[in-house]
């Protein structure tokens, strides 16, 4: 037996020699020394594994597998099939690698050792035969005892991807993922990467609130400079937006804009949130940042124009639409919003041109844009520029498209009432508008005026009083109407007080001034459209 210790000493000496050559970068001599070590102790499995591990590192998988082969039958250590799996992977033999990994699992290999070798196999499920059933193996590993959080998260991600290829498994995948998520939670994942992975796992299983909770934990833990931070914030913002929580979404997006200031979409969404929340000035700044980064972002031009209109800045809105024409071309919305801006400036002739151009564009490319809102604006601008027949046609088309469009009901009804035309139809339209919005002071005024024009001032008076009681700001036309109605009822002194108030609000109105002469005779004369 004295030969055995000498052989082992020889093997150890040759192995140490190989390690020395390896550290010197002399791989050929290291390989020769390691082979000599194996020849000295051919039955030493631990030595064989150490040498095979080095041959795999040298990209010599065939040699490594040959070294391990004699021990395959009798070995009980999980490291041997793990090394065999690595060798098969280097030879692009995923089926053999998967078989070796199954054997390693049977021998008690920890998930942390199995998973890195299993992932390359799972990334090419099409290269495996049907009988290999990698999905079943992954499920088995998900239930393995003594699992670590990182391995479970990696396996759950692989499982989720594999179930997309297996309709039979898809129906139960949510429960498998939820069960795995609960297990990972019990392991108290401490790193932001693991917390993010757990949030992703909850999201895949449909547990949105739990996902948000773990994304928030990852957000608190991840360093400011980490690329992961941007992904965490993006996920959180998306979930808050999906669940209708605008304020948390805004706060997360503000953080994301600092972490990723060149992200156009972040600025655009922040602008949309501000606009929807009634903060147009904030929206304007964010839309402008988005457009600075991407001058071709079409929707940002339109939304920016709307924000500027909300701020009563029509000239800037028009300038924005001019920039849009330059950068994205002439579109329906460019013309339509230009029309709204010109209307806000009371330049109704220019506004009408834009609305007519929008109609032409819509009729050739976007017929769904030929809607009630467009024809209402065409009607308003036609009336304001004195083209009454065109105004009537536009309002009638508006109501044909949307019979309940009450702004058009009121406008057309009042326009006819003011001109003393179609008074019965005017009364009917205004009545419908009032029913739709019974506290609208302009509609109440229109009802009073059409009744007055129908020769029913006593019925008109309570409507006029309601209009005055509900108006947001003092309106000279309403006080003028009030005076006319009172005068028709013989209440001259009260009528003069109403006209006096109208003149105070509109000092340059000569029609009202004439009514205040000693013997007014102009009651019921024309008034501007609402």
Residue 158 inside a domain? The answer is yes
**Region for residue 527 given its phi and psi (left: phi exceeds 0; alpha: psi -120 to 50; beta: otherwise):** beta
| Residue located via tokens 């949105």 | 208
Residue 331 inside a domain? The answer is no
328's tokens: 């994205």
Q: What is the pLDDT of residue 530?
A: 53
pTM higher than the cut 0.85: no
Residue 145 inside a domain? The answer is yes
Residue 199 inside a domain? The answer is yes
Q: What is the pLDDT of residue 50?
A: 96
**Distance in angstroms (rounded) separating the CA atoms of residues 507 and 510:** 8
Burial 472-495 (b: 16+ CB within 10 A, else e): eeebbbbbbbbbbbbbbeebeeeb
Residue 96 inside a domain? The answer is no
CB-count burial class (<10 Å; 0-12, 13-18, 19+) for 14: buried
Query: What DSSP character marks residue 145?
Result: T
**Distance in angstroms (rounded) separating the CA atoms of residues 232 and 192:** 9
Run means of pLDDT, 10 residues per run, the chain, 530 residues: 70 92 94 94 94 96 96 93 96 94 95 94 81 87 92 93 80 91 94 96 94 96 93 96 95 94 95 96 97 97 98 98 96 97 98 98 92 98 97 98 97 97 97 97 97 97 97 95 96 96 95 83 49
- Best CA proximity match to 195, nearest among 144, 170, 245, 229: 229
Helix (H, G, I), strand (E, B) or coil at 372: helix
**Helical H segments across 243-387, by residue range:** 246-259, 264-276, 280-293, 298-310, 314-327, 332-344, 348-365, 372-384
Domain that holds residue 144: 133-228
Q: What is the pLDDT of residue 1?
A: 37
337's tokens: 């919003």
**Distance in angstroms (rounded) separating the CA atoms of residues 406 and 443:** 9
**Distance in angstroms (rounded) separating the CA atoms of residues 165 and 442:** 62
Total domains in the fold of the chain: 1
**Distance in angstroms (rounded) separating the CA atoms of residues 467 and 463:** 6
Give the 3-state DSSP-derived string for 445-483, with helices as H, strands as E and coil as C.
Answer: HHHHHHHHHCCCHHHHHHHHHHHHHHCCCCCHHHHHHHH
Residue 156 inside a domain? The answer is yes
Query: What DSSP character marks residue 296?
Result: T
Dmax (CA) for the chain in angstroms is: 143
* Other beta carbons within 10 Å of 110: 15
- Best CA proximity match to 87, nearest among 71, 116, 64: 64
Decide: 56 and 90 in contact? Cβ < 8 Å: yes
Residue 369 inside a domain? The answer is no
């Amino acid at each position: 037996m004295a030969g055995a210790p000498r052989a082992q000493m020889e093997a150890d000496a040759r192995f140490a020699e190989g390690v020395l050559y390896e550290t010197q970068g002399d791989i050929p001599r290291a390989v020769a020394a390691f082979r000599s070590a194996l020849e000295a102790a051919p039955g030493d499995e631990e030595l064989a594994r150490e040498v095979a591990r080095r041959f795999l590192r040298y990209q010599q998988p065939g040699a490594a597998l040959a070294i391990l082969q004699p021990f395959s039958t009798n070995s009980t250590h999980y490291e041997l099939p793990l090394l065999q799996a690595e060798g098969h992977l280097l030879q692009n033999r995923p089926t053999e690698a998967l078989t070796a990994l199954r054997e390693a699992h049977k021998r008690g290999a920890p998930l942390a050792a199995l998973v890195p070798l299993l992932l390359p196999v799972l990334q090419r499920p099409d290269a495996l035969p049907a009988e290999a059933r990698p999905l079943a193996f992954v499920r088995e590993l998900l239930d393995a005892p003594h699992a670590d959080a990182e391995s479970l998260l990696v396996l759950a991600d692989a499982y989720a991807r594999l179930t997309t290829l297996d309709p039979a498994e898809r129906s139960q995948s949510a429960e498998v993922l939820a069960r795995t998520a609960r297990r990972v939670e019990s392991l108290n994942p401490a790193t932001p990467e693991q917390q993010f992975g757990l949030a992703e796992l909850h999201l895949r299983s449909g547990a949105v609130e739990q996902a948000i909770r773990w994304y928030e934990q990852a957000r608190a833990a991840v360093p400011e400079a980490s690329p992961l931070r941007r992904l965490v914030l993006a996920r959180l913002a998306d979930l808050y937006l999906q669940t209708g929580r605008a304020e948390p979404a805004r706060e997360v997006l503000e953080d994301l804009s600092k972490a990723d200031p060149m992200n156009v979409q972040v600025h655009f969404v922040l602008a949309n949130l501000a606009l929807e929340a009634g903060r147009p000035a904030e929206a304007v700044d964010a839309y402008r940042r988005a457009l600075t980064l991407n001058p071709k972002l079409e929707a940002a031009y339109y939304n920016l124009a709307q924000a500027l209109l909300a701020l009563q800045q029509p000239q800037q809105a028009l300038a924005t639409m001019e920039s849009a024409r330059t950068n994205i071309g002439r579109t329906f919305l460019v013309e339509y919003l230009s029309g709204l801006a010109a209307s806000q400036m009371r330049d109704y002739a220019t506004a009408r041109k834009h609305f007519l151009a929008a109609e032409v564009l819509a009729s050739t490319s976007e017929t769904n844009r030929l809607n009630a809102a467009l024809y209402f604006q065409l009607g308003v601008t036609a009336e304001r520029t004195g083209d009454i027949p065109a105004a009537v046609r536009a309002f009638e088309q508006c109501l044909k498209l949307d019979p309940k469009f009450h702004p058009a009901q009121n406008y057309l009804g009042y326009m006819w009432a003011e001109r003393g035309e179609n008074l019965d139809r005017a009364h009917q339209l205004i009545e419908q508008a009032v029913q739709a919005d019974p506290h609208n002071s302009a509609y109440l005024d229109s009802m009073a005026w059409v009744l007055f024009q129908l020769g029913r001032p006593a019925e008109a008076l309570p409507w006029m009083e309601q209009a005055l009681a509900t108006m947001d700001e003092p309106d000279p036309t309403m006080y003028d109407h009030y005076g006319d109605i009172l005068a028709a009822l013989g209440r001259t002194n009260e009528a003069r007080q109403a006209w006096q108030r109208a003149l105070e609000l509109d000092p340059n109105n000569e029609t009202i001034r004439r009514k205040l002469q000693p013997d007014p005779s102009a009651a019921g004369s024309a008034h501007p459209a609402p």
